[in-house]
């Protein structure tokens, strides 16, 4: 069993990873990413302890107002995220070994940035990486990266200096909403803590676009997902750890330290768990689809009241590489309304409600199946299981001159309104009250980049938001789902819930990122194909 210790820096980084090709979006209007160049390198302290652990500690970086520059630059790329989503289907015990301390910028959206260290080659060349359960490839910058500015600010792998390097040369490309990293495959030994994986295939990146990679505190990403989403069908490092007999159990676990005043950011354990970092027993759910660590999730509750959205069940993934908790716009908007988060007014939403609101209520109270309501008023068609945009064939309606994109928006907005109205009808609200609430929900739709702000002074009055997993309810208190930036009068508070609509067949999909994993210690059991959650200690 090997323990890896995560340490935090105050850089903020949010990513949503989307595709069958392990496509990742690095985005967030509120993301703080531009750090002073003098802070790019951290002093590292090594300390061996009596329990056999070898820890790597990193100082925590303070919040820097200059980071907002990168945040604003990133907002220009919001359409890239939506384009990428459309293009791709989303896919205890005694410590036996010591650790060289590696943990990554597991993005902590306003809490911290988690990162750790690995080494590649002989002699070892060190890199900071994200240990990311939402992807499956290992990539780091290459010494052959000549024309991308981000490469000049990060450690680069030099194959000529490694005696264990083996040439591969197969081209590789991983797409992100903000661009793509590209390069070629190589093979070498990779050291994670005291574990050395032999002949590991990885990507040498020769192109890294966007401001995000320029200012990030990590050099690369180490994917811990399944081989099914690995670019080039490359064998993930975790698979080789098991195959080469480096771990006693085919299990790894995450503990993320959400105490911002502490420099220790958390711990990854390969081969088992550390009982000191969780309370009680884990609740396990089976992996339902290999690729991401995907499982079925039950009802979502706001202030103890069910929303009805996941009454049947929803799909979710545990993703250490996403700072926030992402879900369908419909429910995220309901949550943000309940906690008082303010988003951007959606004129499309208000227009649909104004024109069709009363009719929608009539159809719902007339016991028309909710999935068929929007098709009955002509905003969607129905494929037997769900509503589908009228513009699905990309046909232009000559009479109205509406493009398929407009139809898409009208259909989606209608379906959101139906879910909201159904929830309000369950609460026995009056027709006037329902219309007022729906218009307010339209007001709460998040901005294009997904962020919603709240009043820091009202945190204590916000409701608990809960998720049902394996028949057990997992609560998130306001202090756990609100991310606070700065102190005093200058402090800003951001909702930890962001909207992401992943289309079928992979979606709808909930992404339980660091907001959730910080509250609940998470076990990824590869041997039994299951994920477990317990209260973090």
Q: Catalytic positions, please?
A: 132, 319
Whether residue 419 contacts residue 309, with contact meaning beta carbons closer than 8 Å, is answered with yes
Distance (Å, whole) CA 75 – CA 26: 11
Distance (Å, whole) CA 368 – CA 352: 19
The two tokens of residue 46 are: 């090594």
Distance (Å, whole) CA 325 – CA 401: 37
Distance (Å, whole) CA 15 – CA 513: 10
Task: Report which DSSP code applies to 226.
Answer: -
Q: Which helix (H) or strand (E) holds 348?
A: helix 347-365
Distance (Å, whole) CA 502 – CA 365: 29
Whether residue 255 contacts residue 508, with contact meaning beta carbons closer than 8 Å, is answered with no
The two tokens of residue 51 are: 């329990």
| β-strand pairing of 482-485 with 497-499 | unpaired
The two tokens of residue 391 are: 């513009």
How many alpha carbons lie under 13 Å from residue 83 in its C-beta half-sphere? 9
Whether residue 212 contacts residue 70, with contact meaning beta carbons closer than 8 Å, is answered with yes
Distance (Å, whole) CA 422 – CA 438: 11
Angle between helices 404-426 and 431-443 (to 10 degrees): 130
Smallest Cα–Cα separation from 74: which of 8, 149, 13? 13
The CA-to-CA distance between both ends of the chain, in Å, stands at 20
Task: Produce one character per residue of 261-293: b if its CB has 16 or more CB atoms within 10 Å, e if not.
Answer: eebbbbbbbbbbbbeebbeeebbbbebebebbb
Distance (Å, whole) CA 481 – CA 469: 18
Q: Which helix (H) or strand (E) holds 458?
A: none
Contacts of 26 by beta carbon, 8 Å cutoff, 6+ apart: 13, 14, 15, 74, 176, 177, 178, 210, 212, 213
Instruction: Say if residue 249 is exposed, middle or buried (CB neighbours under 10 Å; 0-12, 13-18, 19+).
Output: middle
Task: Report which DSSP code applies to 275.
Answer: G
């Amino acid at each position: 069993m090997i323990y890896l210790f995560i340490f935090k820096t105050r850089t903020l980084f949010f990513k949503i990873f989307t595709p069958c090709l392990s496509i990742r979006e690095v985005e967030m209007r509120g993301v703080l990413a531009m750090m002073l160049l003098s802070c790019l390198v951290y002093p590292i302290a090594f300390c061996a302890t009596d329990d056999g652990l070898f820890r790597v500690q990193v100082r925590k970086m303070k919040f820097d107002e200059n980071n907002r520059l990168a945040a604003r630059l990133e907002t220009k790329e919001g359409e890239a995220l939506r384009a990428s989503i459309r293009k791709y289907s989303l896919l205890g015990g005694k410590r036996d070994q010591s650790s060289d301390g590696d943990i990554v910028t597991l993005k902590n959206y306003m809490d911290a940035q988690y990162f750790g260290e690995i080494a590649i080659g002989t002699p070892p060349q060190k890199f900071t990486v994200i240990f990311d359960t939402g992807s499956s490839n290992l990539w780091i910058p290459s010494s052959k990266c000549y024309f991308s500015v981000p490469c000049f600010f990060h450690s680069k792998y030099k194959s000529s200096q490694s005696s264990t390097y083996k040439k591969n040369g197969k081209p590789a490309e991983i797409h992100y909403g903000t661009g793509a990293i590209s390069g070629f495959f190589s093979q070498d030994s990779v050291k994670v803590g005291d574990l050395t994986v032999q002949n590991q295939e990885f990507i040498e990146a020769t192109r890294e676009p966007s401001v995000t990679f320029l200012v990030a505190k990590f050099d690369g990403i180490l994917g811990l997902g399944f081989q099914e989403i690995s670019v080039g069908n490359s064998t993930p490092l975790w698979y080789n750890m098991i195959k080469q007999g480096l771990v006693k159990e085919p299990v790894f676990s995450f503990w993320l330290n959400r105490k911002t005043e502490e420099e220790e950011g958390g711990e990854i354990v390969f081969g088992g768990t550390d009982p000191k970092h969780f309370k009680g027993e884990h609740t396990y759910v089976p992996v339902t689809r290999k690729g991401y660590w995907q499982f079925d999730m039950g009802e979502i509750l706001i202030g103890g009241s069910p929303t009805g959205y996941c009454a049947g069940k929803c799909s979710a993934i545990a993703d250490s590489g996403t700072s926030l908790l992402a879900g369908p716009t419909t429910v995220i908007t309901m949550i943000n309304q309940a906690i008082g988060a303010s988003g951007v007014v959606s004129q499309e939403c208000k227009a649909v409600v104004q024109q069709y609101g009363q009719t929608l209520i009539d159809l719902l109270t007339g016991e028309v199946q909710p999935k068929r309501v929007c098709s009955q008023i002509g905003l969607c068609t129905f494929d037997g299981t769900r509503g589908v945009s009228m513009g699905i064939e990309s046909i232009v309606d000559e009479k109205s001159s509406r493009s398929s994109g407009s139809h898409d928006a009208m259909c989606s907005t209608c379906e959101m309104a139906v879910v909201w109205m159904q929830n309000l009808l369950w609460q026995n609200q009056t027709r006037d009250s329902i219309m007022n609430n729906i218009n307010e929900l339209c007001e709460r739709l998040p901005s294009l980049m997904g962020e919603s702000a709240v009043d820091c002074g009202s945190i204590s009055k916000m409701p608990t938001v809960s998720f049902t997993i394996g028949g057990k309810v997992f609560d998130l208190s306001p202090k756990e789902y609100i991310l606070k930036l700065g102190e005093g009068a200058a402090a800003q508070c951001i909702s930890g819930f962001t909207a992401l609509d992943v289309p079928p067949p992979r979606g709808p999909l909930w992404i339980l990122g660091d907001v959730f994993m910080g509250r609940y210690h998470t076990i990824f059991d590869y041997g039994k194909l299951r994920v477990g959650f317990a209260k973090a200690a």
